[in-house]
Amino acid sequence: MVRIDPTTLTIFLTVVEEQSLARAAERHFMAASAVSKRISDLEGALSARLLDRHSGGVRPTAAGLELVEYAKGIVDLLRRLRADMSLYSEGTKGDVRVFANSTSIVGFLDKDLSGFLLRYPQVEVRLEEWSSPYIVRSLKEGLADVGLFWAETPHAGLETAPYRSARLVIVVPAAHALAGSVGVHFSETLDFAHVAFHEGSMIHRLTVQAAEALQRTIRTRLQVTSFDAMRTMVSAGVGLGIMTDVTVAAKHNRRELRVVPLLDDWAILDMRIGYRDRAALPRAAQQFIEHLVHGRAE
């Protein structure tokens, strides 16, 4: 069976347009005999006479006229297909699966993501919020293309790049004893009740380790799972809270709350951009990583 290929269909359309095998051959830089062979093979493949030959050239038969419509559609479809596929290879079209922790979403990713989507409007970013340990595991299992997680999270086997940094701060009511401090050490907070994050969070793990290093315990009055819940409970006077400065800045009510930096060395947290194999990622995902790295430098 003779294969019907796009090139042959294009040549056929040129023959019909020029009404001449010779002129079509000139346009395609081919011998007239080669064009004639293409048309004959096409007629054989379709079991239909497509052209009537006459002294002045050729004209399409009824079958040929019908093929013209099909051929135009096929050639146009392939042209658009190539154009669309080139967008994927260039990274200007596609989708990127991004898993990010809550701090990166609230504190940094909004501006970076909006800038990326303005630059690449045909790329779809599917963003999901997860804990840093789950993000690392998901990257290794291929469930996400790019992840944003705390650098302190074990991530052996992944490629990473620096993203952003955040400082831990305490959040207290305006009337709290520590509200007027320029900065405090974590040890100073242990004399007061805490509103703590849940046990699976990075902040909870760091603060528990810091308390154990001081041979102290945290007076946890309440555990919460979100930044909004912590702000609400702190405002109500339940206890002081510890969160990142960027998270507080997103929704800080200066009339109700005071923010005081933690001065301990461990209170500065670095965030990483993680991925399994950058070279093997879709071009759109590679562009997203480049945008985040570039944005970090601005």
Contact 96, 146 (CB under 8 A): yes
Low-confidence ranges of the chain (pLDDT < 70): 1-2, 83-84, 86-92, 250-255, 295-298
Q: What domains are defined for the chain?
A: 6-89 (1.10.10.10), 96-162+273-297 (3.40.190.10), 165-269 (3.40.190.10)
Specify whether the CB–CB gap between 273 and 163 falls below 8 A.
yes
pLDDT at 252: 57
At 81-103, the pLDDT tens digits run 776 676 666 556 788 999 999 89
Under DSSP, is residue 194 helix (H, G, I), strand (E, B) or coil? strand
What tokens appear for 236 in the block?
């109500």
Q: Which two tokens stand for residue 176?
A: 């709290």
Beta bridge mates, 191: none
Q: Which pLDDT does position 51 carry in this prediction?
A: 92
Residue 250: what pLDDT?
65
- Cα–Cα distance, 63 to 39 (Å, whole number): 13
Side-chain half-sphere of 49: how many Cα atoms within 13 Å? Answer: 6
Distance CA 84, CA 162 (A): 32
Angstrom CA distances, 239 to 113, 177, 194, 210, 219, stand at: 34, 11, 5, 18, 9
Cα–Cα distance for residue pair 205/161, rounded to 1 Å = 23
SS3 of 142-156: the string is: CCCCEEEEECCCCCC
User: Rounded to the nearest 5°, which phi and psi values hold at 243?
Assistant: -150, 180
What is the model's pTM?
0.68
What letter does residue 225 receive in the DSSP assignment? S
